Amino acid sequence: MIKREAYDAVLRLAGQFPVVAITGPRQSGKTTLAKMAFPKKRYVSLDDKDMREIAKANPRDFLKAFPDGAIIDEAQKVPEIFDAIKLVVDNSPYNPGKYILTGLSQFRLKENITDSLAGRIGMIRLLPFSISELKNAGQLTDDAYDYVWGGFYPPLYDENKHFLRDDWFENYIDSYIDLDVKNQINPSNVQAFRKLLQVCATRSGQLVNYDDISRRIGVSAVTVKSWLSILESSYIIHFLEPDSNNLGKSLVKTPKLYFIDPGLMCYLLRLDSKEELLLDAHKGAAVETMAVSELLKKQFNNGKKAQLTFFRDKNGFEVDTIADWKHTFAIEVKSSSDTEKRMSSNVRKYIALRSDDSKGQVYYLGDLTCNVNDVQYVSWKDWAE
């Protein structure tokens, strides 16, 4: 079993907060992580209809069945349980890590947490496997496009299962729409929502244009914005906001859209092989999508906020990603495997504009991480490390 890098952060938070919530996309390994980190805790899933009805009918008595706490899967399906947990936590001796909640929807969990558990809960966002997790497990191949095209969802790496990539993604999208989307949109709009997924795949790494997407799928721009928020809250996409440091320039104010998983993006682009991806116009965007996803995983696995932006002024000068971490990193992402100096021109210009201790990096597809004229070229195998 591949050890998750979020493991240590989960234990860290469970040593402080009485409740820990693990959110993330469907099939990212949330339940597996919870069981791995807390093997002695009882497990209950509110996906189970009977258990869900019991919890809804009397949430306080339901919790009494677990005096030592529990792992409660899909907790957001019984909103009443959050108030019950609050009462237990507030009226009991301090007991960090008593309840471990897992769930898909960031929005629905956050809504209940804000109302009931603020100050009592630690949050972890678990995305699919990272490059470093696969590398540490000895499962990383030498071809970056195995992952740009194939993606990182854990079931595709389970040796006890034999999923074919296309079949798995088709089932994943059907399950996602049937179980997570249909109750949030008008049922007559399901096909338009499917089309939205495909349109978003063609726009990963680009500025969001609500009106253009609206024309493409035939619903209002207001509806597009609402549906994109569903995709974001369920960790299908992520919005990268523009850098607020204007450096004396006029900046764009529109976020960029990225898929969380490049494999899902490539599936929606109907790319049947990594060789087809190599010849496709979206190759660069897919590589950039993987890079941004790796940066997100690095932060989320440490229990931290993303703190990622991008820089673009109205004259078109752009740096792909700004990671405002312990140091500020200006990062350009390239689908080349060569350390060409011209690939670092934008980060050099950006660093010169800032005149501080910002560091420049070029994420590229070579096998060697090295410094070239004060800019670090980072091999894809070391992204976000």
Query: DSSP character for 334?
Result: -
Residue recorded with tokens 């349980």: 81
Q: Are the CB atoms for 214 and 199 separated by under 8 Å?
A: no
Q: What is the mean pLDDT of residues 225-248?
A: 91
pTM over 0.85: yes
Nearest to 268 by CA among 177, 138, 377, 375: 177
Angstrom distance (rounded) from CA 190 to CA 95: 44
Query: Which of 104-108, 109-113, 147-151, 310-314 has the least mean pLDDT?
Result: 104-108
Given a contact cutoff of 8 angstroms between Cβ atoms, the answer to whether 311 and 241 are in contact is no
Give the per-residue pLDDT at 294.
98
Closest CA to 30 of 72, 58, 88, 63: 72
**Residue 324 in 3-state DSSP?**
strand
**pLDDT classification of 251: cutoffs 50, 70, 90:** confident
Query: How is residue 96 annotated by DSSP?
Result: T
The predicted model gives 111-139 an average pLDDT of 87
| SS3 letters across 263-320 | HHHHHHCCCCCHHHHHCCCCHHHHHHHHHHHHHHHHHHHCCCCCCEEEEEECCCCEEE
Rounded Cα gap, residues 261 and 36, in angstroms: 24
Tell me the β-bridge partners of 322: 309, 330
- Rounded CA separation 275/280 (Å): 9
> For the chain, what is the largest distance between any 2 Cα atoms, rounded to a whole number of angstroms?
66
Question: What average pLDDT does range 350-369 have in this prediction?
Answer: 93
Lowest mean pLDDT among 123-127, 181-185, 244-248: 244-248
* % of the chain exceeding 90 in pLDDT: 82
Can you tell me the mean pLDDT for 261-277? 97
Q: Determine the distance from the C-alpha atom of residue 56 to the mean position of all C-alpha atoms in its chain, rounded to a whole number.
A: 30
Mean pLDDT of 90-107: 85
pLDDT band at 107 (very low <50, low <70, confident <90, very high): very low
* Per-residue pLDDT, 110: 60
Report the C-alpha gap between 303 and 122 in whole angstroms.
8
Residue in the block written with tokens 């969380």: 260
Mean pLDDT of 152-168: 95
- Structural domains of the chain, with CATH: 7-125 (3.40.50.300), 131-382 (no CATH)
Asked whether the beta carbons of 372 and 345 are under 8 A apart, the reply is no
Least confident of 22-26, 76-80, 334-338: 76-80
Contacts of 33 (CB under 8 A, 6+ apart): 4, 6, 7, 10, 22, 126
Digit-coded pLDDT (tens) for 162-190: 999 999 999 999 999 998 898 889 989 99
Sheet holding 308-312, edge to edge: 206-207, 256-259, 237-242, 308-312, 318-324, 328-333, 359-364, 375-379, 370-372
Q: Half-sphere exposure of 99 toward its Cβ, with a 13 Å CA cutoff?
A: 28
Q: What is the DSSP letter of 177?
A: I
Note the pLDDT of residue 104: 63
Q: Identify the pLDDT of residue 260.
A: 98
Residue labelled with tokens 């740009």: 148
What is the arrangement of strands in the sheet containing 42-45, beginning at the earlier edge strand?
A: 42-45, 70-73, 99-103, 19-23, 121-125
Locus of tokens 């140091």? 327
Tallying the residues shown for the chain, one arrives at 385
CA distance 6 to 123: 11
Confidence bin at 341 (pLDDT 50/70/90):
confident
- Percent above pLDDT 70 for the chain: 96
Residue-wise pLDDT for 207-219, tens only, equals 999 999 999 999 9
**pLDDT value, residue 146:** 97
Q: State residue 226's pLDDT score.
A: 96
Rounded average pLDDT over 118-142: 94
**Among 256, 264, 282, residue whose Cα is nearest residue 153:** 264
164 closest CA partner among 175, 176, 151, 177: 151
DSSP for 109-171, written as a single string: HHHHIIIIITTTEEEEE--S--HHHHHHTT---S-THHHHHH---GGGG-TT----HHHHHHH
Structure tokens at 139: 């499962």
